[in-house]
Amino acid sequence: MTLTKISDSGKDAADILARFRTVREDIDRAARHVPRDPAGVTLLCASKTQGVERIEPLLAAGHRLFGENRVQEAKTKWPELRARYPDVDLHLIGPLQTNKVRDALKLFDVIETLDREHLAEAIATESAKLGKRPKLFVEVNTGAEPQKAGLLPAEADAFIARCRQVHGLDVVGLMCIPPADDQASPHFALLSEIAKRNGLSQLSMGMSADFGQAVQLGSTEVRVGTAIFGARQA
Ligand X SMILES: *Cc1c(COP(=O)(O)O)cnc(C)c1O
- Please give the residue ranges that form the binding site for ligand X (CB under 6 A): 46, 48, 69, 93-94, 177, 207-209, 223-227
CB of 49 to ligand X, least distance (A): 9
Report the alpha-carbon distance of residue 9 to residue 21 in Å, rounded: 18
Characterise 199 by phi-psi region: left (phi > 0), alpha (psi -120 to 50), beta (else): left
What residue is closest to ligand X based on CB? 225
**Given the complex with ligand X, which of 201 and 226 has the nearer CB atom?**
226
What are the distances in angstroms from CA 160 to CA 104, 147, 174, 220? 21, 22, 10, 19
**Given the complex with ligand X, which of 57 and 167 has the nearer CB atom?**
57
**Given the complex with ligand X, which of 177 and 190 has the nearer CB atom?**
177
Q: How many CB atoms lie within 10 A of CB 74?
A: 23
CB of 61 to ligand X, least distance (A): 19
Residues 6+ apart with CB under 8 A from 216: 30, 33, 34
Residues 6+ apart with CB under 8 A from 22: 227
**Given the complex with ligand X, which of 57 and 225 has the nearer CB atom?**
225
Residues 6+ apart with CB under 8 A from 150: 115, 139, 140, 141, 142, 176, 177
**Given the complex with ligand X, which of 55 and 167 has the nearer CB atom?**
55
CB of 222 to ligand X, least distance (A): 8
**Given the complex with ligand X, which of 93 and 171 has the nearer CB atom?**
93
CB of 131 to ligand X, least distance (A): 28
| Helix H or strand E segment including 212 | helix 211-216
CB of 40 to ligand X, least distance (A): 19
